[in-house]
Amino acid sequence: MAREKNSFACQSCGASSGQWAGRCNACGEWNTIVEEVSKNSGIAGGPSKKQAKGLTLELESLDTEVADVPRLLTDIAEFDRVTGGGLVPGSAILVGGEPGIGKSTLLLQVAAVLANKGHRALYFSGEEATAQIRLRAKRLKVTDAPVGLAAETNVANILSTLEADDPPAMVIIDSIQTVWSDSLDAAPGTVSQVRACSQHLVRYAKRSGAVLLIVGHVTKDGQIAGPKVVEHMVDTVLYFEGDSGHQFRILRAVKNRFGATDEIGVFEMKNEGLAEVANPSEMFLGDRNDDSPGAAVFAGIEGSRPVLVEIQALVAASSLATPRRAVVGCDSNRLAMIIAVLSARCGLRFGAHDVYLNVAGGLRITEPAADVAIAAALISALSGIALPIDRVFFGEISLSGAVRNVGHMGARLKEARKLGFKSATMPMPVDGETPDKKMLVENLPHLSALTANILGSEGAKTQDSDDKETKNS
């Protein structure tokens, strides 16, 4: 006779335990453990039934010929770039992002494009009624696209609908936190429901060859809600970045079994939907002022794409015992390290100043090559000396103050020259790598050289006088 077995699962990380606790031992979150009931047959402590003998598998060698799988092109260049050149049949893609960022809008546009090209696309919504989706389609001007709509949250009904006809080319589930299975005695959105429903849908995609696009909610920390195993089950994980009040959106691939990771696609939110931005460097640079201190242009690499972005810094005198450090679009620990290196190796003093750092355009930078650009912006903001408007900066800073080499220097300089920049401050080139001869290149062996170039003799005197006044006060 089947008996019910109670277990307790953390709704933040998915860890399970045999008893309830106020704090999860795995992730440290409070009040996230919920009791879940699952059916288990057999006597307690023993297997439910005798395990069947498995089949012997036929092993293959690594040099077996693999046929190239044709991809489904959506004709949205930025989306195809992030997915690695198009959608692979039978793949599962998880799309996460803040509420109102544009996930449903983008997926409806993708489904409409494929439907107009003759592919069968289905859209299952668990959060909105079909009338609401039609209103969005009217705003996007894609009402003529033959996309199949359904408002359903039961995974059994969704799978029955899919298997009742020929396999579609694309299936969209919006969102996985609303889908539930009646075989589990748990509320929709819990760890067990999200894990079980995702497994059923991914198994169908692999078996039928349909492209599965799953929308996932995110937590307050920006991570996709639910167990981490869902991200391991799918082939691609895409994150929508950007502020809902800002018109620009960044689609980033953090996992991709069929393409490069950390690839980005840039979109602009308009009344007609998400429009792709062909040249994101011009968007991130925006309107720049040549006499404004504290602004440096960073030549970065996002995936395989070179991107130029403006880094803005503001250094102001502080009346607080502990000066404030505010960062938008960058790691705060990285900023603290660069300030410490500037203080210890270059003699600059930030202890009596508030420091504010911002990456223009809503882009988030994780590349260490932005260290030199951040340092240049901080030095410029502290001294009040504006940097040359036609110069780009990149390079990694070590704790000793040495400027370390970074990759793809040729691609960075080529993108900068294409946008009209004439000079670059960069690390020493490695053996065999020739910099762009059409640009004036300044090689930095140490961060003190950057400080001396920006401040000069007048700036150094100003800094020394400021230090004396600070000590006297």
Q: How far apart (Å, rounded) are the C-alpha atoms in residues 331 and 333?
A: 5
Average pLDDT, the chain: 85
pLDDT at 472: 46
Residue 205 · residue 245 · CB < 8 Å: no
Q: How many CA atoms lie less than 13 Å away from 114 in the CB half-sphere?
A: 29
39 vs 24, higher pLDDT = 24
Give the CA dihedral 50, 56, 61, 67, nearest 10 degrees.
-80
Question: What pLDDT is stored for residue 464 in this prediction?
Answer: 46
Residues of the chain with pLDDT > 90: what percent? 54
Q: Are 130 and 149 in contact (CB under 8 A)?
A: yes
Give the pLDDT confidence score for residue 289 in this predicted structure: 67
Q: What would the mean pLDDT of 403-408 be, rounded to a whole number?
A: 91
How far is residue 452 from each of residues 185, 228, 297, 299, measured CA to CA in Å?
A: 67, 48, 19, 22
pLDDT for residue 192: 85
Which pLDDT does position 79 carry in this prediction?
94
What single string gives the DSSP state of each residue in 212-274?
Answer: EEEEE-B-TTSSBSS-THHHHHSSEEEEEES-TTSSEEEEEEEEETTS-TT-EEEEEEETTEE
* Contact indicator for 182, 154 with CB cutoff of 8 Å: yes
Which tens digits make up the pLDDT trace of 355-388? 999 998 778 898 999 999 999 999 999 999 999 9
pLDDT of residue 124: 97
Give the per-residue pLDDT at 140.
93
Cα(375)–Cα(379) distance, integer angstroms: 6
Output the pLDDT for position 245: 61
- 3-state DSSP assignment of residue 355: strand
Element (H or E) spanning 425, and its range? Answer: strand 423-427
Lowest mean pLDDT among 96-100, 129-133, 397-401: 96-100
Q: Furthest-apart CA pair in the chain: how many Å?
A: 87
| Residue predicted with more confidence, 10 or 237 | 237
Q: Is the pLDDT of residue 70 over 50?
A: yes
The first and second tokens of residue 406, run together, are 């970074």
The number of angstroms, rounded, from the C-alpha of 239 to the middle of its chain's C-alpha atoms is 5
pLDDT one-digit tens code per residue, 233-277: 999 999 988 766 667 888 999 999 998 887 889 898 888 889 988
Closest CA to 426 of 296, 279, 262, 293: 296
Q: What share of the chain is helix, strand, coil (3-state, %, to 5)?
A: 30, 30, 40
Give the residue, 400 or 24, on which the prediction is more confident: 400
- Per residue in 435-470, pLDDT (tens digit) is 667 788 899 999 999 999 998 744 444 444 444 444
Give the confidence band of 63 by pLDDT, cuts at 50, 70, 90.
confident
Q: Name every residue whose Cβ is closer than 8 Å to that of residue 397 and which is 6 or more positions away in sequence.
A: 337, 338, 341, 371, 372, 375, 403, 404, 447
Instruction: Supply the pLDDT for residue 256.
Output: 93
Binned at pLDDT 50, 70 and 90, residue 434 comes out as low
Residues 247 and 208 sit within 8 Å (Cβ to Cβ): no
Confidence of residue 159 (pLDDT cuts 50, 70, 90): very high
Specify the range with the lowest mean pLDDT, choosing from 51-60, 155-164, 173-182. 51-60
